[in-house]
Amino acid sequence: MVEIINKNVAGGIAGRRSGNPKGAVIHNDYGAMTPKDYVSWLAKRKANGQLNLGFAQYYINRDQIARIEDTFNKAWHTATNEGNGWFLGYEVTQSFGDVVTDAEFIENENMTFMQVAEDFHFYGLKPNTTTIRLHKQFSSTSCPHRSWELHGWSNSSVQNYFVKKVKEYMNLGKTVDQMIKATNKKVVIIAGSGHIETEGWKTMNNLTVGMTGKSRRLEAFNLIVKVDGKPVNVKGSLHIEDLGDVTNNTNLFGTMGISKRIESVKLNIDAAIEYRVHQQSSGWSKWTKNNQWCGIKGKRKRIEAIQFRVVQ
Ligand SMILES: [Zn+2]
């Protein structure tokens, strides 16, 4: 479920539009804050007379939608009168660095597309490359920097992706709630880290614990998994050098300080999750369903990395 926060922080400071909006500008915030964080941060800016530094109507991630200005009012989000006056601004938040994984950021985008879809229904707008625009089409900026990297590095490919997604969501319902229900998808978040031979603990990257191409064994890993906002207690078994099959009911697996390789893994996380292992001399295995063994036992081959994906 998404938390809707309607707080009119800006209070019409940029003036009222003299008609309906022409479309949407979908931004990346180049920041780390959640929508809730933005509400209080922008309230402080308002109090200090600093909203002229910029604000959009919406701040959105996968869990929260904050509307800080009414959609009939203007916002200062494109550095042009046309964009500020006639286009609604949507900030996809947490785009900066590794604050969230790509998979999480894509969920942040998806929630944003749903809000755009709801507003397009409301204002009778049709999604196309005239109505759905990028900040950099109005003024010189790298925004939307992360969507740019994820969806093709050009105005047309990023816009076409945005348009396609907004269309999809508009077909699912008139409101964000209806769209969420219609997708019937679980929101799956996976994080964690791996303990690697000679390297020590390394944070999960690209949904992968461990590392490839360095001939280092993955000795232990921990997983932090949330499905629809609820923490999942990951259970499973590892086949470990000299120890055989070892079962575990906590989110931490493997051994440390005794130089033992993991040869096979079986993890019971959630039906929406699959995994594969990168193993000595054989490389990446096939994707394996939840709660199935993955990796070759008994051949003295170390697992170097485990990668996860969400399938639904
Ligand atoms: Zn922007």
Report the separation in Å between the CA atom of 56 and the middle of ligand 1, taken as the mean of its atom positions.
Answer: 9
Report the separation in Å between the CA atom of 94 and the middle of ligand 1, taken as the mean of its atom positions.
Answer: 13
Mean pLDDT over 252-269 rounds to: 96
Give the domain ranges of the chain.
3-183, 188-310
What is the band of 183 on the pLDDT scale with cuts at 50, 70, 90?
confident
End-to-end CA distance of the chain: 17
Report the separation in Å between the CA atom of 114 and the middle of ligand 1, taken as the mean of its atom positions.
Answer: 18
Integer Cα distance of 42 and 51 in angstroms: 7
What pLDDT digit, counting tens, does each position of 198-243 carry?
A: 999 999 988 999 999 999 999 999 999 999 888 999 999 999 999 9
Nearest by Cα to 24 from 98, 104, 109, 107: 109
Report the separation in Å between the CA atom of 138 and the middle of ligand 1, taken as the mean of its atom positions.
Answer: 10
Report the separation in Å between the CA atom of 284 and the middle of ligand 1, taken as the mean of its atom positions.
Answer: 38
Tell me what pLDDT residue 24 has: 98
Nearest by Cα to 60 from 84, 90, 39: 90
- Six-digit token string for 268: 């019971």
What is the band of 16 on the pLDDT scale with cuts at 50, 70, 90?
very high
pTM, two decimals, is 0.65
Integer Cα distance of 157 and 133 in angstroms: 12
Q: Does the domain spanning 3-183 belong to CATH 1.20.120.430?
A: no
Integer Cα distance of 236 and 54 in angstroms: 49
Integer Cα distance of 128 and 23 in angstroms: 9
Report the separation in Å between the CA atom of 66 and the middle of ligand 1, taken as the mean of its atom positions.
Answer: 16
Which residues fall inside 5 Å of ion ligand 1, going by CB?
A: 27, 135, 143
Report the separation in Å between the CA atom of 31 and the middle of ligand 1, taken as the mean of its atom positions.
Answer: 11
- Six-digit token string for 75: 């916002």
What pLDDT digit, counting tens, does each position of 28-64 carry?
A: 999 999 999 999 999 999 999 999 999 999 999 999 9
One-letter identity of residue 91: E
Is residue 24 within 8 A of residue 90, CB to CB? The reply is: yes
Report the separation in Å between the CA atom of 54 and the middle of ligand 1, taken as the mean of its atom positions.
Answer: 9
